[in-house]
Amino acid sequence: MTNTFQSRSSGGRRPGGGKGKGKGKGGARTVALRRGGPIEREPVGLPSVLTVGDLAQKLQATPVEVIGELIRLGMMVNINAQIDFDTAQRVASALNWETFEEESAEVVAAEKDFEDRLLEAEMDPESVTRPPVVTIMGHVDHGKTKLLDSIRSANVAEGEAGGITQHIGAYQVETHGRKVTFLDTPGHEAFTAMRARGAQATDVAVLVVAADDGVMPTTREAVAHIRSAKVPLVVAVNKIDLPSANPERVKQQLSEIEVMPEEWGGDVPFVEVSAREKLGLDDLLDVILLVADVHELKANPRKVATGVVIEAKVDPKRGAVATVLVQGGTLNLKDVVVAGTTWGRIKAMFDDRGRKLRRAEPSTPVEILGLIDVPEAGDPFVVFEDEKEARDLAEARSQQKRAEKLGKGAIRLVDMSNQIQAGTAAELKVILKADVSGSLGAISNALLKLNEEVPDGVRLSITLAGAGGILESDVNLASATGSVIIGFNVRPDVAAKRAAEAQGVDIKFYNIIYNLIDEVKAAMTGLLAPIFQDVTDGYAEVRETFKLPGGDVVAGCYVQDGKIARSSKVRLLRSGTVMWEGSVKSLKRFKDDVREVAMGYECGLGLDGTNDLQVGDALEFYHREEVART
């Protein structure tokens, strides 16, 4: 059984995940001892996640000693439980070890390869023209879906007309012998979700506006998203078949929000279409291609492939199925790819008509089989020659992601400690699932009795007690109510397991009542609120300020004392007065994102939530640290 516990994450170490930004060049982070005398032994390296047993071994301690420290931190764990780096570090510190976070040199190198390939693909001098990738946006009911369907059905070449079209999240059509790729999830949620993950899949955005309805709230929102992504825009004025259609009004309304039609001297092409009557569709495609030509969309097909995941799912028969958009290079059957936290060798590739492919060139959407797990939409992917490198990278990323989840999980025993400290919910909430209703009653009673047995511990309450396996609905309830799930002789189904992982919900399993009660009791007594205090990491002085094109201000700083870290909290001091408190948005040395900058060095710094930085301001960097209770 694997149980996952953590303590409050003291910092904001951000696991690499998708783009691996902010990976320190050095790779290791040294952590000073909280207290205690001189140490003669070497600091010990710890991974981002490890089991209690492994930690004990690394610290040359017995599992009982380690578990004892964890209980002091308010965690009920067994030897197989997984704990995150911050927790392990705290235990190590209590046992007088200095620690640093391990990041293997191989993984750092692989992460760099990944980044380099994405960058290379972006700016390749030998590039050749590639088809544009189009996203359709607009207000609900203005005809986005209909337009996607009509374009697709009108442009399936002769002979293929009977071909079965598949929904794979994207499709390609041909017009005048040229291809156009459409992402067929309409709406800007998908578009913004991709952008949020750093992926830019769209070359041309088509804004659909119904000619009878005009500009609506979502139209305006879509324009804002398209503008901020700096994606070229084409307006499709739809439903011109309707008698009530008023395309001139649409132009008028859009021009008011600075979407100026070309015919009025602006730079936005407008095309009148009827998705239902299939009118104007060729014109729309022509305009899209014209816009694409103006923007000289290029890629080099003679390279290993890079691209982005469009959508992914688990298919009960075929395993993980992902639709990816090849953006650079050519993707081949049997290629080894890394996408987000997963990897695999491509076993089969299909196009949007379900035809088997051996290769896919830039701007081609393909469905691939062979990934060992499901990536997320928006994850960039890169082909690796070396299978081991790919696997190591994906594994390291998924470990980091797990650590990140542990760090921000909603339902943690230690979180409850903090609530107790705040004098609010001094309650350990439990969702109990058991195999037969007989044991359910017995366990519920025994658990509730603990409230009397441990009078000065936290109060335990049962959010839900039910017979049967652990379901996704249980996990959702746990997440919503801040409960821990306890399973007695029952297991979660796949959906529940995934949901628990995604939401960071703890599920604990037992098959002996005594163990269950005993561990919960330990948790209730161990749930002592930790005490926190602020510890200063360092000071910096603002020596210059720069305004970025987006309006944000970054400061050129000099670190005067200690060190400053991206995970630190910051106080902005002007003549000794605290002007602002918050966190670091960006920390750079030259052009590189860094985790830390030490005394005597200069750095570029952006603050999260304020641009009020002035030359001469002082910045105090600090973190909150848990102090041991006596």
Binding site for ligand GDP (CB under 6 A): 138, 140-146, 186, 238-239, 241-242, 274-276
In residues, how long is the chain?
A: 630
Nearer to ligand GDP, 275 or 394 (CB): 275
- What's the min distance (Å) between Cβ of 435 and ligand GDP? 46
- What's the min distance (Å) between Cβ of 8 and ligand GDP? 44
* Residue among 253, 218, 51, 255 at smallest CA distance from 143: 218
Nearer to ligand GDP, 243 or 576 (CB): 243
Residue 557 φ/ψ, nearest 5 degrees: -120, 160
Q: Cα separation of 189 and 205, whole Å?
A: 13
The secondary structure of residue 378, as a DSSP letter, is: T
- What's the min distance (Å) between Cβ of 268 and ligand GDP? 20
Cβ(80)–Cβ(52) under 8 Å? yes
Distance (Å) of CA 275 to CA 154, 191, 398, 538, 584? 11, 22, 43, 61, 48
Nearer to ligand GDP, 23 or 146 (CB): 146
Q: Tokens for 42, please give them.
A: 């070497």
Nearer to ligand GDP, 237 or 440 (CB): 237
Q: Cα separation of 72 and 95, whole Å?
A: 13
- What's the min distance (Å) between Cβ of 152 and ligand GDP? 13
Report which residue's Cβ sits closest to ligand GDP.
Answer: 143
- What's the min distance (Å) between Cβ of 209 and ligand GDP? 10
User: For the chain, first and last CA: distance in Å?
Assistant: 33
The secondary structure of residue 69, as a DSSP letter, is: H
Nearer to ligand GDP, 29 or 239 (CB): 239
Nearer to ligand GDP, 83 or 223 (CB): 223
Distance (Å) of CA 277 to CA 159, 233, 249, 452? 23, 23, 21, 74
Q: Tokens for 357, please give them.
A: 């492919």
Q: Tokens for 526, please give them.
A: 């161990």
Determine the residue type at 234: V
- What's the min distance (Å) between Cβ of 249 and ligand GDP? 16
- What's the min distance (Å) between Cβ of 149 and ligand GDP? 8
Nearer to ligand GDP, 274 or 417 (CB): 274
Question: How crowded is residue 145: how many other Cβ atoms within 10 Å of its Cβ?
Answer: 17
The secondary structure of residue 30, as a DSSP letter, is: E
Contacts of 39 (CB under 8 A, 6+ apart): 33, 96, 97, 98
**Reduced DSSP (H G I as helix, E B as strand, rest coil) percent helix, strand, coil of the chain, to 5:** 30, 35, 35
Nearer to ligand GDP, 13 or 188 (CB): 188
- What's the min distance (Å) between Cβ of 208 and ligand GDP? 6
Cβ(475)–Cβ(485) under 8 Å? yes
- What's the min distance (Å) between Cβ of 188 and ligand GDP? 12
Q: Cα separation of 353 and 351, whole Å?
A: 5
- What's the min distance (Å) between Cβ of 239 and ligand GDP? 4
Nearer to ligand GDP, 70 or 235 (CB): 235
Helix, strand or coil for residue 5? strand
Helix, strand or coil for residue 228? helix
Nearer to ligand GDP, 67 or 205 (CB): 205
